[in-house]
Amino acid sequence: MNQRKKIGETKDVSFILNQIVNLTNGHLRFMEVCGTHTVSIFRSGVRSVLPKEIELISGPGCPVCVTPVGEIDRAIALARLPNVTLVTFGDLMRVSGTSSSLNQERAMGRDIRIITSPLDPLEIAMSEPQKKVIFFAVGFETTAGAIAAAVKEAKRRGIKNLYILSSQRLIPPAIKALISLNNIKIDGFILPGHVSVIIGKTPYSFIAHEFSIMGVITGFEALDILEGIYMLMRQKTEGRSEIEIQYTRAVKDEGNRLAQEVIEEVFEPFNATWRGLGMIPQSGLMLREEFREMDAAFAFDIPYEEKADPPGCLCGEILQGIKKPPDCPLFNTRCTPEDPVGPCMVSSEGSCAAFHKYEDFE
């Protein structure tokens, strides 16, 4: 265990680190918005080598963590209907709703299955035409392109027994909400690499233009993250606030245009609730009118209801970067990866789970 490559063992690191140290001049707080960054920052030990003036905080970057309790309850209610097969990504299975989880429902005999690709539900619907197959779809822009393509494909194949419960969320409106909440001062954003593969650079420009905060779209290696931080520091030193791309090997300025078009064709934004952040304008994706017959929210008449988060769980504050996992009285006591209370401990990319797994490095 714990034989992961630590940052000091990589070449080129000392060079970038020196540059960072040279530019350090006072306290700076950078937020990483993406759960994959959170995990990478923990496992590589980036924090421990940075000057202590540079504070890295985690934001709302994991789709599982931000799925509200009411949405889990709705999926469970759908799974309890006769003749229904509910399919979803594995991480969601253990997230608690008000009184149950999809895992518990499956143990009680409901037909709930884990998929790895948005095309899997099409195959299930086609091979089991007597079932109503409901795809509980979560994800950010990274995943929305694939989900939208699968929806179009289902329509093209004339599949009639497939429904989508869309709980997808968009990153730029969440960043805007976080800045506007103004609970915490953020000097710069380490922007998510794979969300940006799809959307490119433009949707973030408001961060620089409206709020004069800098951002760097960053890859997931320790060296990428250090370089991203270095690029932020350089902007700071030169008095610039811009959106730059460090992760150029995968992210183009314009993103993946085709994926953007397919998302736009299939989905439209709506005002959606995020766990811990509340309602954020135009931050969710719902099916457009033309695809409404596939919309589980319409076909089954089980409306979304706001529900309370688990008592005592600080996920909300943690997702905003105001609190850290050890601030939660339940952390490592009543709440562990084996028996999680909140979603930040369920998802392998949640801050609480990452803290639990890697904190011996800190």
Partner 1 sequence: MCLGVPGKVVSIKEDIAEVDFGGIRREVSLLICPDVMEEDYVLVHVGFAIQRLEKGEALETLALFEEIERDYSESAEEDR
Binding partner of residue 330 among partner 1, ligand SF4, none, CB cut-off 5 to 8 Å per kind = ligand SF4
Among ligand SF4, partner 1, none, partner that 149 touches (CB below 5 to 8 angstroms by kind): partner 1
Which listed residue (109, 182, 239, 249) binds partner 1 by CB under 8 A? 249
Cα gap 201→171, rounded to integer Å: 12
**Alpha-carbon gap, residue 301 to 97, rounded angstroms:** 19
The contacts of residue 115 (CB under 8 Å, 6+ apart) are: 87, 88, 89, 121, 124, 135
Q: CA 331 to CA 345: how far, in whole Å?
A: 9
Answer whether 132's CB lies under 8 Å from 163's CB: yes
**Which of 11-19, 95-103, 138-146, 316-324 is the region at the interface with partner 1 (rule: CB under 8 A)?**
138-146
CB of 239 to partner 1, least distance (A): 31
Please select the residue that binds partner 1; options are 50, 146, 179, 328, rule is CB under 8 A: 146
| Residues 342-361 contacting ligand SF4, CB under 6 A | 342, 344-345, 352
Cα–Cα distance for residue pair 131/214, rounded to 1 Å: 50
The entry of partner 1, ligand SF4, none near residue 85 (CB within 5 to 8 angstroms by kind) is none
Q: Is 64 in the site for ligand SF4 (CB under 6 A)?
A: no
207 binds, among partner 1, ligand SF4, none (CB under 5 to 8 A by kind): none
Judged by CB under 8 A, which stretch of 69-77, 95-103, 132-140, 204-212 contacts partner 1? 132-140
- Stretch binding ligand SF4 (CB under 6 A), from 105-113, 161-169, 186-194, 340-348: 340-348
CA-to-CA dists, residue 285 to 104, 137, 141, 266, 288, angstroms: 28, 10, 10, 9, 9
Comparison of 90 and 281: residue with beta carbon closer to partner 1: 90
The burial of 348, by beta-carbon neighbours within 10 Å (0-12 exposed, 13-18 middle, 19 or more buried), is given as middle
Beta-carbon contacts of 52 under 8 Å, excluding residues fewer than 6 positions away, are none
